[in-house]
Structure 1
Amino acid sequence: MSAERSLVAVTAKTNRSKTDKDPAAWMPPADSAACTYFVEWTATKLRWGLSADEAEQKALLDHADSCTDAVVEYETAP
């Protein structure tokens, strides 16, 4: 894969708490990781042309104001 952001190493505890939850149901335990998480999540959705339900969109938009320096960059998957 040419995408730089595909996997992020986390602790087993964090991985178990997240499972398959989206940003509407799970946030990183460290507040300092939230913006990075949102950027990575959004870039992955855009790269692969994935949809987001209303709750997921709301969660992303609700937190976007606190990520003023965040830039979502992505390359569309082939």
Structure 2
Amino acid sequence: MRITVSDISTRESQQTVQIQAIRSWDTIPYLSMLDGLYQDDIFHEQISNLPEEYIKLDEMAKDEEKNSLNIYEFFFEPTHEIICE
């Protein structure tokens, strides 16, 4: 079967999300927003099963002057260092 341009359907453009710089404590809400926006089953499963340690770190990071931890990096720049015990 030949495929022509008329056979190809296009998706509507994704809603553009304007976000200020991501702060440490924004990680969980940011990931939840992405989950709702893109509705990707694999991504949903991954963020639905976050380790409790990640969530605790996200909560601890609310005072960035005291806790300079950027948990966003743990999701998108994996590290082999022990971050919680």
Structure of greater Rg? 2
TM-score by length of 2: 0.30
